[in-house]
Structure 1
Amino acid sequence: MSDRQASLDWLADPAVFKVNRLDAHSDHRYYATVEEAEAGAPMKMRHSLNGSWSFHYAANPASRPADFHAEGFSTAGWGDIQVPGHIQLQGWGQPQYVNTMYPWDGLEAIRPPQLPEHNPVGSYVKEFELPADWDGRPTFISFQGVESAFYVWLNGEFVGYAEDSFTPSEFDLTPHIRGGANRLAVAVYQRSTGSWLEDQDFWRFSGIFRDVYLYTTPDIHAVDLEVRADLDDTYRLGTLHASIRLADAAPAGSYALLRLRDPHGAVVAESGQVALDAAGRIAAVLEAGEVQPWSAELPRLYSLLVTIHRPGGELVEAIVQKAGFRRFELKDKLMLVNGKRIVFKGVNRHEFNSRSGRAIGKEDMLRDIRILKQNNLNAVRTSHYPNQTLWYELCDEYGIYVIDEMNLESHGSWQKMGAVEPSWNVPGDLPEWQDIVLDRAASMLERDKNHPSIVIWSCGNESYAGEVILNVSNYFRERDPSRLVHYEGVFHNRAFNDTSDMESRMYAKPADIEAYLNDDPQKPYISCEYMHAMGNSVGGMHKYTELEDKYPLYQGGFIWDYLDQALIRKDRYGKEYLAYGGDFGDRPTDYSFCGNGIVHADGTVSPKMQEVKFLYQNYRLTPSLDSISVRSGSLFAGTGHLELACRLLRDGALVHEAIVPLEVGPGEEAEVPSGLPQGIAEAPGEYVIEASLRLRDDQLWAAAGHEVAFGQSVARVEREAAEPLPAGEIDVVEGDVNIGVFGRGWQALFSKQAHSLVSLRYGGREVIESPPMPLFWRATTDNDKGTALAYTHGAWLAASVARRCTGWELTQEAGTVTVAYRYEFSTAPGAWLTVAYTVRADGSIRVRTEYKGAQGLADLPILALTFKTSADYGQTKWYALGPEENYSDRCHGARLGTFSRAVAELPSRYLVPQESGNRTGVRRLDVLDAQGNGFAVAAVSEPLECNVSPHSAMELENAAHVWELPAVHYTNVTVAAKQLGVGGDDSWGAPVHPEFRIPSDRDYAFEFILEPSRM
């Protein structure tokens, strides 16, 4: 086909999605020698074209250099762009973040397959030298990922056209290439028919964002290799089926030899000469005998060496393909891996880097997979497109179950602002969209079919339902019966229920899931998306994981999502920050809805991971002073790679630690001695018994000593008598406006006018910069905003900033002085609150807060006292649940102990400033300066919730970005009886579960002691 036949009409034609593109094939590597193949050396038959390319950007097709591909066309004055990379992150155009709507919504009135006039075009030119030893050999080019459609020319001649941003597109350059210098030209269009199928919840980019390379092949070449390593019905004996498709030029008499090695390198099976059949394939079966099965727990990989030979026996090509013997099946309505019921402890993962977008590299992937393994996640859904080949190889090697999802999402064509309205849904039942959609499925399957980590094919995401997707599902089943098929969209249209092998829903509440599981379910259930982790979230996750033991057909879920999709940007003063939708002037946009990760955009884990790691752990540890109950939820791995440590702490301080022998098989329970000496916990105090399972040796994904599971229990030994009041003298000076209370080395001042404690000095150092006041409002979280908390509960915001003191009282008794204030609130009629400060001779103040509830008021977001101290008090030490922030509905993964942290490090780095940094179960909190001087907050009877932050709730409430927060001058201390949970079933209306709310019609009281630090 000549260049004049390359047509822009293809961009808007669903029937044209590939021109001259080669058929999809496996992602195996091939070499000239066995030694290179077995060493996994860089492929000499590949030549990378990554790097700097000449580049021109046009905002629309009319302004592009139409003849740029012609020989002799000068690119003088063009810019340079890096490949792989996105156009919009290298100085041209702008990134745009939208979720469900199409990026042109409200700007152009179009319907599929029409395209918007704003269709940026990137024109790329690469001059390259053909490797000298390739001259005269067949040469091909592979584009691993181009968004969203592109045309290719070589030396002025048209080569081909392709769509599908996330699977390889390859072309034969042999007719056009020449020895020495060559000129490659690529025109990349941001919008095409593919754009209607790529409406994923992500940043909208374009360009050549994955690797580009040339490759050559020997004259006898394995174009495609398919390996299936199956287990028999006992899950012990393995049979490997191999099918090799040779290039059309392979002569009769060509043959292959196959040799299979186990994970330790021992040869377990070999073939004789396997001849080429009439269909151009070589098929072989190797009986491996008793094998070591592959699973995420024990990712044991075999190595299949395939050598291709000429009819005379000369070696032409060598391939090493990793294989894992495993069986994934649906049996008695349960999904089984190697005969065992699987529970997916999963997460949805975009390919993303905060600097390079979806153009990620090996280091990004290694970081991600280590984080997954270190935090007990065993599964990933590739939301919502196929990933780079290396990701699947790492999942094979490290052990991760994968739902491999094809590149399909047409969300904006059927759901508008949450309402299901599929009147113009694509692909639906439209036959003109069948081939383009099926091609995406085939491109994924054919490339990825040999990876044992992939256990389920997914037909895409949130594209409603219809015949087109049902046909894709049937294709998957027919082409690959060794895996199951997933699709969630049938929930909206049960006429296409057969599309999915499992019931799969998004953001269903635990009660809704139970209703399904109690109603004679015909399919196992997974939550393909749950626990929407936007901002400060993941509250109530335990309500989902508790279903795993209660209902066998509940087989886990996939958190949305893994990593915040935030991009590095500079503010007007040149300082970098993490930007979200709208920060680039992009409109329309969905703003910060891209920040849903359990990992921050810079690749560091967020505090939410603390809960995820605990609830996903494979071992349940219940310790006591005498013994530790160990319950293994592992399917295949015992505890031989782990050691069990038992620690005893008294009032947060370590008393004793022991390493306990342990040998518990998969799925077994055992009671083992704790290793703690008898009578060690007799002195008065609070005792924490903690059991910890740690890696005995280094693993690929973590060093020896890494904790994989823990459990705690708490016991108290009470003192025989109450402690007496501190001895000493107290002086009181009651003035007209203030009440002064004095003792040795301290002084306090209470104001009748400011209606609070206005000064507290220990050793001459002031503690109070802004007086304690009642607080009923927290800086709204993303989930709070999703439930319109400011609208429904805004009266408590007003009550926090506008109160009236209706009376005060001074009481003197032996050894104490009490000053009490009563507050009322115009926005909360009928409710009132008193704060009584009881000063003792040692300068400690017992603060008792009593809240009187009233009918007809919204629940309380928080019930607290808050005050400011100097920012010089910039260090904290906690005896509380930690070490990371936690809330009433997200504290299972927190442990009771003593932790230290700088005040500046306590708030979490969410994209939008919001409530963060809270700790529950607070027994004691010390707030200190650099010299260790300061004050403490100590619980009296019931543990407290506390937050220490450089910013007040009101400052956080009014900032949309971190850079909008004021400079730090204070340390804000908030002491609470309770705070509303953070929720997380979804972020657009799901309320916090009732048991984690604070009804405002009840009465509450809490107490703490404010005293000098004893540090």
Structure 2
Amino acid sequence: MAVTPSLSWLEDPGTFKVNRVEAHSDHRYYNNMAEAEAGAPMDMRYSLNGSWKFSYAPNPASRVEAFYKEDYNCTGWDNIQVPGHIQLQGYGRPQYVNTMYPWDGLIDLRPPHISPEHNPVGSYVKEFRLPENMENGPLFISFQGVESAFYVWLNGEFVGYAEDSFTPSEFDLTPFMRAGKNKLAVEVYQRSTGGWLEDQDFWRFSGIFREVYLYTVPKLHIRDLEVRAELDDTYTKGSLNVTMRLLDTPQEAVSAKLELKDRDGEVRLSTEGAFNGQELTLSGEVADVLTWSAENPYLYTVCISLTGADGAVVEAVVQKAGFRRFEMKNKLMCINGKRIVFKGVNRHEFNCRTGRNITREDMLWDIQTLKRSNINAVRTSHYPNQTLWYELCDEYGVYVIDEMNLETHGSWQKMGAVEPSWNIPHNDPKWHDIVLDRAINMVERDKNHPSILIWSCGNESYAGQVILDVANWFRSRDNSRLVHYEGVFYDRNYNATSDMESRMYAKPADIEEYLNANPEKPYLSCEYMHAMGNSVGGMHKYTELENKYPMYQGGFIWDYIDQSILKKDRYGNEFFAYGGDFGDRPTDYSFCGNGIVYADREWTPKMQEVKFLYQNYKLEPGRTGIRVINESLFAGTDHLALEYSLYCDGELLGKWTAEVNAAPQSEVLVPIELPHTEGTPGEYSIQASLVLKEEELWAEAGYEIAFGESVFVVEETVTEQPAGELKVVEGDVQIGVLGEGFTVLFSKQVGSLVSLNYYGREMIEAPPAPLFWRATTDNDKGTQLGYHAGGWYAASLARKCVEVSLTQEEGNVTVTFDYRFSIHEELAFKTAYTVYGDGTVRVRTRYTGAAGLPDLPIVALSFKMSADYSQSEWYAMGPEENYIDRAFGARLGVFSRKVQELPSRYLVPQESGNRTGVRRVKITDEAGIGLQISAPAAAPVECNLSPYTAFELEHAAHPFELPPVHYTVVTVAGRQMGVGGDDSWGAPVHKEYTIPAEQTLEYEFFLSSVGTGEK
């Protein structure tokens, strides 16, 4: 029956599919088993990816309405690439918003209505000729992802309509196809009722952004396949149930043969049966199965041969299967009988050039990164991903929360306030079917992937009967998985929606309060550690809950990758753009930059902490042995080698290997022998690593997956004062201290050290000054640090030197500067410079606080050197930046890096590049000449080297706004506050990582020359 398409469908919740093929599994099928087992390309598919003819219209009224007709000539149209977003190919503009709907403030709308003026339309045309093998069979078309609603015509005839941007929409083209050239026309609308349900925290795009292909099927075809590979109560015996549903009711006798093969190709189960109608289920048991888990992702192969009445094979299907059992057991989520801990991350599909159109190479990089970082789980925030992603999670071993395409954040939360004066879908029956359809689309496509442990009812859509109905449908359809939904936190009347207590960005104390109250459900942090900019501080407070409370079962960091798009500035230079950079309004600006991976797929320094805190293996090295704690559920240590090293003051003394045999959920002490260190003073570090013995899919042999360290000091008995003649010249304005090869000048007028010259090389371009301000991080801005603590900004810009004193002793000279500040009369900062005979300068600082002032961001001295001093070598915690609340993943060692590479590439310039535990840092030119800063091992300092001052960083919204590089800015801190990360909109840094203003804080360090050859 012919259907006349209507634009009214776009705002009708009851019309979300017209002539769309019902959702089914994503299995592959072939003409014969040889092709199937070889994994050959499917010759019954024909890709329509590539160049399409395209016309863009800002609204429906201005579109070319008759473009789909056969006699309409589109040859003069532009070309556009499919798959791809319209807005990233020169049409319209991308827009980033978080919770609000993208039309907020532009037009007054309530669901299900959409604006006829603000609804971009993309008209696509593709002409194609069918391959010979597809001319006679039925013909279908599969759109893997179109945002957000679209109409399809073939040869001028209307084919169908669909919504749901993130699951396939397929149509039967058979009645409309013809020999020779065919004209396919697709009209894509950005706004629809579906758009009201897709208010995710992401860039707002539209278009055909996933692949499109034609496909045919054999005369007998398994349209839907369901593989259930389960375990008995001993978790050793498998049961396999395979249900096949044919496309059509067969007109002849049809049978199927099933074989289950292991990795070696050995048949572990063989069975066959005949269809009675369209459906057949084949079952069997398998003894001593190898189970699937993220630690040991063992996959079997299900081989199905479909035969007709003549006994010839008509179709062959190969489907991977993993035997695993996921269940709630004694109020704990368990995988194969063991309590699971999700060490997870939320992941958007994203590429900095192509948006959510990501490639196989992107996905391979991502899955390898997860495994290399000890991340064992991913939540598909907040929509189903491409099929390949689930296949990779099956193969590599990653647990998945598969999340349906639902988020209505802007309908109930406004500027952070829970305000459900209007909300969808809630209890409105008009939205029931369209929401349930999205659940069905996801489950029916993804049901055969063992990596998927949990179905999720979407994200941040409040609560209500509609979502509860979805949860109950999940349970009735698939009892092998649990159901997740976080939104019941806001309305406990619908608590039954979720099988686990799931919250976002709860503080560790709040989680403990829940866990200490004898709860009925285990706890899952579906989003935590908001990794915006310089963040992930205090993550250990969450991971420490894992062993303290069995019902705390881990969490998922927000999020995996910065959603930043490469754009050119006005001078043609590429930069990473965020919301607002495309003229998009309204926008939420840089809130899209929350990744532990940069948008160009390089690790951020935050990954150093994540990888360490997510380790399954804990290493505690001592002088006589290394304690290995294996927290894995199923994996031992047979695949790992234990390596350990001994360092003295950062210098490697030796490296050894040892055998380790630690069964899952056990710990062992591995004896070691180290060289004697008694009598040889220095700071010693024992470092232990577990590395891969052999190459894995995701990493090379020798890759380190776990690390541990311990440090001890052998004290020096006598420390002699450096020798050398000193001459003091006290002028009217300057105080000079001169020695062999060096001159140190102090200015009474400036109130600081103004020159440190070694063998004619000046080290000071701008004099040291007290610094109490850091360039605010995204988390600092979220807590309104500038508003509450802006006085420290002012105190850092201006001070009054109230006293300069000169003290001479045998072998040294000390000049002291005493500073006062306008923000409080009792606030004081004193810096004493002691010059020794060899040119070494000891710098002692004393901060004297005052009550009533806000916590300090930092207590430091900062000065400038010439940018010619562009190289750095550190003996400190590293190698990546670290802070007092994000240093667990850092290790003590010697690291080198160019100064320009030390600041991190966060979307918005901010404090970055800090190192804690600094014993020594050298700042030199390319010839190795420069300055060394050192501190006692027992009292190390924090240090930051950057081409920019804190104030230059503070006032730049993009890296291109920073000035050309003229200086190396050196900041030596006694203490800097942590970076925090519980959230980025108000969560403070945990108290133990702050700097109370009323305290007294002292620290010291030494300045000396490097590379001048004087010693």
2:53 corresponds to: 54
Aligned to 2:669: 671
Distance 2:133 2:483 in 1: 45
Preserved contact between residue 855 and residue 1001 of structure 1 (Cα < 8 Å): yes
* Alpha-carbon distance between aligned partners in 1 of 2:418 and 2:861, rounded to the nearest angstrom: 45
In 1, Cα distance between equivalents of 2:678 and 2:144: 63
After superposition, what is the alpha-carbon deviation per residue over 1:951-1002, rounded to whole angstroms, capped at 9, x for unaligned? 1101000100000000000000000000010000000000000000000101
The answer on whether the counterparts of 2:57 and 2:122 sit within 8 Å (CA) in structure 1 is yes
Amino acid at match of 2:965: V
1:977 aligned to 2:965?
no
Deviation track 1:297-350 (CA, whole Å, cap 9, x = no partner) reads 000000000010002211000010000000000010000000000000000000
| 1:309-324 map, 5 Å | 309-324=307-322
Q: Which residue of 2 aligns with 1:181?
A: 181
Tell me what 1:720 maps to: 717
- 1:777, 1:796 within 8 Å by CA — same for their partners in 2? yes
**Shift of the alpha carbon at 1:905?**
0.7
Aligned ranges for residues 583-662 of structure 1 at < 5 Å?
Answer: 583-662=581-660
Residue in structure 2 matching 1:375, options 370, 373, 394: 373
**Bigger Cα displacement from structure 2, 126-135 vs 974-983:** 126-135
User: What is the deviation of 1:496?
Assistant: 0.1
Per-residue deviation, residues 704-753 of structure 1 (Å, max 9, x unmatched): 111000000111110112x1111111011111111111100111111011
Identify the residue that residue 956 of structure 2 maps to in structure 1.
959
What is the distance in 2 between the residues matched to 1:459 and 1:984? 26
Question: SS of 1:472's equivalent?
Answer: helix
Cα deviation 1:199-235 (Å, max 9, x = unaligned): 0000000000000000000110000000000001000
Give structure 1 regions of 4+ aligned residues with deviation exceeding 2 angstroms.
249-252, 674-677
The amino acid across from 1:655 in the alignment is L
The SS at the match of 2:524 is strand
The aligned residue for residue 35 of structure 1 is: 34
* Counterpart residue number, 2:244: 244
State the 1:132 CA deviation.
Answer: 1.8
Report the Cα distance in structure 2 between the residues aligned to 1:703 and 1:1013, rounded to whole angstroms. Answer: 38
1:135 Cα offset (Å): 1.6
Does the alignment pair 1:405 with 2:403? yes
Structure 2 SS opposite 1:365: helix
Secondary structure of the equivalent of 2:124? strand
Q: 1:517 aligns with which of 482, 502, 515?
A: 515
- Which amino acid letter does the alignment assign opposite residue 657 of structure 2? I
How far did 1:250 drift? 2.2
* Structure 2 partner of 1:194: 194
* Aligned equivalent of 1:806, options 802, 807, 813: 802
User: Is the 2:53–2:75 contact (alpha carbons within 8 Å) kept by the matching residues of 1?
Assistant: no
| Counterparts of 2:761 and 2:702, CA distance in 1 | 43
**1-structure distance, mates of 2:135, 2:253:** 27
Question: Which segment drifts farther, 733-742 or 532-541?
Answer: 733-742
The equivalent residue for 2:149 is 149
Q: Deviation at 1:680? A: 4.1
Distance 1:77 1:829, change over 3 A: farther
Q: How far is the alpha carbon of 1:389 from its aligned partner? A: 0.1
**Amino acid paired to 1:1011:** S
Q: Distance in 1 between matches of 2:720 and 2:150?
A: 82
- Deviation, 1:263, is 2.2
Q: Which residue of 1 aligns with 2:489?
A: 491
Q: Quick one: which of 276, 281, 284 aligns to 1:283?
A: 281
**Mapped partners of 2:864, 2:588: distance in 1:** 35
Following the alignment from structure 2 to structure 1, what is the Cα–Cα distance between the partners of residues 633 and 768?
54
- Give a deviation string over 1:839-876, Cα, whole Å, max 9, x none: 00000100000111111001110000000001011111
In structure 1, distance between residues paired with 2:77 and 2:421 = 45
Q: CA RMSD in A?
A: 0.8
Match of 1:849 among 845, 859, 867: 845
Aligned to 1:989: 986
For residues 901-920 of structure 1, what are the alpha-carbon distances to aligned partners after superposition, in whole Å with 9 as ceiling and x for unaligned?
Answer: 11011000000000000000
Secondary structure at the counterpart of residue 383 of structure 1: coil
Percent sequence identity over matched residues? Answer: 66
Q: Secondary structure at the match of 1:725?
A: coil
> Does residue 260 of the first structure (1) align with residue 256 of the second (2)?
no
Quick check: 474-483 or 261-270, which moved more? Answer: 261-270
What is the Cα deviation at residue 676 of structure 1? Answer: 2.3
**How many Å separate the matches in 2 of 1:882 and 1:681?**
27
Structure 2, unpaired ranges of 5+: none
Distance 2:185 2:76 in 1: 16
Q: Which amino acid aligns with 2:730?
A: E
Q: Does 1:949 align with 2:946?
A: yes
Q: CA deviation at 1:423?
A: 1.8
Partner residue of 1:84?
83
Output the CA distance in 2 between the equivalents of 1:228 and 1:45: 26
**CA–CA distance in 2 between the matches of 1:956 and 1:948?**
13
Superposition pairs of residues 679-698 of structure 1, within 5 angstroms: 679-680=676-677, 682-698=679-695
Does residue 1:306 correspond to 2:304, yes or no? yes
Q: How does 1:434-513 map to 2 (within 5 A)?
A: 434-513=432-511
Alpha-carbon separation, structure 2, partners of 1:640 and 1:27: 36
Conserved in 2, the CA contact under 8 Å of 1:2 and 1:157?
A: no
Q: Is the 8 A contact 1:540 1:993 kept in 2?
A: yes
Distance 2:14 2:750 in 1: 75
Which blocks of at least 5 consecutive residues in structure 1 are unaligned? none
Taking the aligned partners of 2:431 and 2:771, their CA distance within structure 1 comes to 57
For 1:124 and 1:576, the matched residues in 2 are separated by 30
Which of residues 738, 744, 760 is equivalent to 2:756? 760
Q: Shift in Å at residue 134 of structure 1?
A: 1.7
Once structures 1 and 2 are overlaid, which stretch shifts more, 679-688 or 597-606?
679-688
Cα distance in 2 for residues equivalent to 1:685 and 1:993: 34
Cα distance between partner residues in 1 of 2:678 and 2:414: 61
Q: TM-score by structure 2 length?
A: 0.99
The residue identity in structure 2 corresponding to 1:860 is L
Q: 1:737 — aligned with what?
A: 733
Which residues in structure 2 correspond to 1:317-466 (within 5 Å)? 317-466=315-464
Alignment partners' CA distance in 1, 2:679 and 2:35: 66
Counterpart in 1 of 2:1006? Answer: 1009
Local SS of the residue matching 2:691? strand
Tell me if structure 2 keeps the 8 A contact 1:658–1:676: no
CA contact (8 A) 2:166 2:383 kept: yes
Cα distance in 1 between the residues matched to 2:453 and 2:293: 10
Q: Which residue does 2:233 correspond to in 1?
A: 233
**Structure 1 residue 187: deviation in Å?**
0.0
In the alignment, what sits opposite 1:900? 896
| Matching residue's letter, 2:818 | R
In 1, Cα distance between the equivalents of 2:329 and 2:292? 19
Structure 1 residues 614, 419: closer, same or farther in 2, change over 3 A?
A: same
1:167 is displaced (CA, Å) by: 0.2
Of stretches 130-139 and 966-975 in structure 1, the one that deviates more from structure 2 is 130-139
| Per-residue deviation, 1:33 | 1.1
- CA displacement at 1:829 relative to structure 2: 2.9
CA contact (8 A) 2:928 2:1011 kept: no
Q: Which amino acid aligns with 1:221?
A: H
User: May I ask how many residue pairs the two structures share in their alignment?
Assistant: 1010
- For the pair 1:137 / 2:133, whether they are aligned, the reply is no
**Cα distance in 2 between the residues matched to 1:773 and 1:134:** 77
